[in-house]
């Protein structure tokens, strides 16, 4: 405990004590105007693939504010809107707003927590309504060497079906859920550039609250520690390292009687299929072996979440990029990664293709490897580590975006991802 408090104190004092030790390569708040209006494919592990139409106005009217709208078609359908970098006090107090309204999506739910599930050991939860609202407030000081932030979000979801891994419907039902949560933390950025660091150290500390949804739910919080180390290679390239841990801390366990939890799960599965509550209908649904397997799996997952809590998962476009979003979950997470970011061109190249305008300030190839694990008991974290390797292409821009394509390979195959900005 004393070591953690000392680390926290050092991280807080570091920007004040050494604010001038590393010079920034360029201004940390960019206002180069950019825009993008074009269709492009998306590939997000665990979400699927399809086509998205992007409308982006970066640094609108030479301000710091970015506006964007994304329309999704394919495996996921709906609209995403964002209004970011609204400076209430210039370069100091900033607000970000985010809205998501999906009319179709399918989320993979794996049958067990931990690292021992197989590639197809999941079922699909199909939804036809996902509405999310998020607001973030940031305080930026010392030329972005220190930032504190607080986020709050709310989400509504309607589940309409459950399918097996091959897409076959298991049981159709309609259920709505609503949740809200928030987190807060700070970033100490002791590097030569916030957007594209080539030397220095960066640390993120985040505490996420998970308040109980009912008297059956647990009360826990999650502490994330994320450290980035950047070692210069030659004049323009970087060897980057990332160390990330996430730990759930349960302050009050929820209902952990498995018989009670199983009754909850059974009622949830049968309530919409058998709206009148007829026992014959309920018995018929629960007699299906596939439904029985889902009830058993969901009972175990709910019990573990109420007993241990759930930390930040592995999988997706930032950590364990060869695996679907939230592929591995548990109460504790350990993730290690390294990237060689080779900037083969740092020529400043303005471009305007009518549908896409920006200024390229760097073209980069990245070669990376990741290693990580999750577990409900911290002592088990290193017992079953997995590894991925990959290559990526990035374009760093003067508008503040890093356009990124990664191709990552793991023991379950190769996974592409296309997204903005660095993974860490």
Average pLDDT along the chain: 89
Query: Mean pLDDT over residues 268-277, rounded?
Result: 80
**pLDDT at residue 47 in the model:** 73
Read off the pLDDT band of 198 (50, 70, 90).
very high
Q: For residues 198 and 179, which has the higher predicted lDDT (pLDDT)?
A: 198
The count of residues in the chain is: 424
Query: If we measure between CA atoms, which residue out of 128, 333, 126, 351 comes closest to residue 225?
Result: 333
Segment 393-407, tens digit of pLDDT: 999 999 888 999 999
Distances (CA, A) of 417 to 79, 321, 406: 19, 8, 5
Domain residue limits at 408: 2-420
In the chain, % helix, strand, coil (3-state, to 5) comes to 15, 55, 30
Task: Name 228's Cβ contacts closer than 8 Å, sequence gap at least 6.
Answer: 191, 197, 201, 202, 203, 240, 241, 242, 424
What is the Cα–Cα distance from 367 to 238, expressed in whole angstroms? Answer: 11
Give the confidence band of 199 by pLDDT, cuts at 50, 70, 90. very high
Q: pLDDT band for position 3 (50/70/90)?
A: very low
Residue 384, pLDDT > 90, answer: yes
Residue with more model confidence, 229 or 8: 229
Q: What is the mean pLDDT of residues 105-131?
A: 90
Residue 417 has a pLDDT of: 83
Helix (H, G, I), strand (E, B) or coil at 353: coil
pLDDT at 313 over 70: yes
- Our count of domains for the chain comes to 1
pLDDT digits (tens, 9 = 90+) for 35-63: 989 887 777 766 778 888 989 999 988 89
DSSP-based three-state secondary structure for 47: coil
Q: Structure tokens of 4?
A: 């953690």
- Per-residue model confidence as pLDDT tens digits over 334-382: 999 999 999 999 999 999 988 889 999 999 999 999 999 999 999 999 9
Query: Cα separations (Å) of 76 from 71, 104, 106, 173?
Result: 10, 5, 7, 20
Q: Which of 8-17, 121-130, 365-374, 385-394 has the lowest mean pLDDT?
A: 8-17
Q: Residue 82 — very low, low, confident or very high, per pLDDT cuts 50/70/90?
A: very high
Alpha-carbon Rg of the chain, whole angstroms? 23
Question: Residue 273 — very low, low, confident or very high, per pLDDT cuts 50/70/90?
Answer: confident
Would the CA dihedral through 118, 123, 127, 130 be positive or negative?
Answer: negative
Instruction: Take residue 223 and report the two structure tokens written for it.
Output: 């502490």
- 224 token code pair: 């994330």
Burial of 286 (0-12, 13-18, 19+ CB in 10 A): middle
21 Cβ contact list (under 8 Å, min separation 6): 190
Q: What is the mean pLDDT of residues 302-311?
A: 96
Q: What is the pLDDT of residue 284?
A: 86
Structure confidence at residue 4 (pLDDT): 53
- Determine how many CB atoms are found less than 10 A away from the CB of residue 5: 9
pLDDT of 65 reads 95
pLDDT tens digits along 318-327: 899 999 889 9
Q: What is the CATH number of the domain that holds 394?
A: 2.40.160.50
- Quick one: what percent of the chain has pLDDT higher than 90? 62
Measure CA of the first residue to CA of the last residue in the chain; give whole Å.
27
- Residue 72: which of 96, 97, 95, 39 has the closest Cα? 39
Going through 142-236 in order, the beta strands assigned E by DSSP cover 146-163, 169-191, 200-210, 219-233
Q: Is the model's pLDDT at 18 over the cut of 50?
A: no
Q: Is 234 left (phi over 0), alpha (psi -120 to 50) or beta?
A: left
Residue 21 has pLDDT above 80, yes or no: no
Least trusted range by pLDDT, from 9-18, 169-178, 189-198, 300-309:
9-18
Residue 130: is its pLDDT beyond 70? yes
- DSSP-derived 3-state class of residue 196: coil
Residue 274: both structure tokens together: 């058998």
Q: Please, what sign has the CA dihedral across residues 303, 309, 315, 320? A: negative
| pLDDT of 159 | 87
Q: Using CA of residue 409, residue 413, residue 414, residue 418, what is the dihedral sign?
A: negative
String of DSSP letters for 385-405: -EEEEEEEEEEEETTS-EEEE
3-state class of 310 per DSSP? coil
> What pLDDT was estimated at residue 91?
96
Alpha helices in 235-357 (DSSP H): 258-271, 279-286, 289-308
In this prediction, residue 388 has a pLDDT band, given cuts at 50, 70 and 90, of very high
């Amino acid at each position: 405990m004393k070591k953690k408090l000392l680390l926290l104190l050092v991280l807080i004092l570091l920007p004040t004590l050494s604010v001038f030790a590393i010079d920034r390569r360029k201004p940390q708040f960019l206002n180069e105007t950019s825009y993008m209006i074009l269709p492009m494919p998306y590939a997000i592990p665990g979400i699927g693939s399809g086509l998205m139409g992007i409308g982006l106005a970066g640094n609108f009217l030479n301000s710091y504010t970015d506006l964007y709208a994304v329309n999704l078609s394919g495996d996921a359908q709906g609209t995403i809107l964002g209004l970011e970098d609204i400076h209430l006090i210039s370069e100091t107090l900033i607000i970000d707003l985010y809205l998501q309204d999906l009319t179709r999506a399918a989320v993979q739910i794996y049958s067990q927590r931990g690292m021992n599930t197989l590639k197809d050991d999941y079922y699909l939860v199909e939804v036809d309504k996902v509405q999310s609202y998020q607001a973030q407030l940031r305080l930026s000081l010392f030329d972005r060497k220190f930032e504190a932030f607080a986020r709050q979000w709310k989400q509504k979801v309607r589940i309409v079906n459950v399918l097996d891994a091959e897409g076959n419907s298991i049981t159709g039902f309609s259920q709505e859920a609503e949740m809200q949560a928030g987190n807060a933390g700070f970033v100490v950025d002791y590097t030569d550039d916030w957007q594209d660091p080539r030397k220095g150290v960066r640390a993120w500390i985040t505490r996420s609250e998970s308040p109980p949804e009912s008297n059956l739910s647990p009360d826990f919080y999650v502490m994330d520690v994320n450290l980035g180390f950047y070692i210069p290679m030659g004049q323009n390239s970087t060897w980057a390292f990332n160390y990330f841990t996430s730990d759930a801390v349960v302050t009050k366990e929820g209902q952990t009687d498995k018989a009670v939890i199983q009754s909850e799960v059974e009622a949830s599965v049968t309530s919409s299929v058998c709206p009148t509550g007829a026992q014959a209908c309920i018995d018929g649904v629960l007699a299906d072996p596939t439904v029985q397997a889902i009830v058993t799996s969901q009972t175990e997952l709910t019990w573990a979440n109420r007993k241990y809590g759930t930390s930040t998962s592995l999988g997706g476009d930032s950590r364990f990029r060869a695996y679907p979003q939230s592929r591995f979950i548990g109460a504790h997470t350990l993730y290690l990664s390294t990237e060689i970011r080779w900037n083969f061109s740092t020529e400043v190249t303005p471009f305007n293709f009518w549908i896409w305008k920006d200024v390229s300030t760097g073209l980069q190839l990245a070669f990376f490897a990741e290693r990580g694990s999750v577990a409900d008991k911290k002592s088990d974290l290193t017992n079953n580590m997995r590894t991925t390797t990959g290559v990526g292409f990035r374009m760093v821009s003067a508008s503040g975006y890093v356009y990124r394509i990664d191709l990552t390979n793991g023991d379950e195959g190769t996974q592409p991802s296309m997204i903005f900005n660095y993974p860490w």
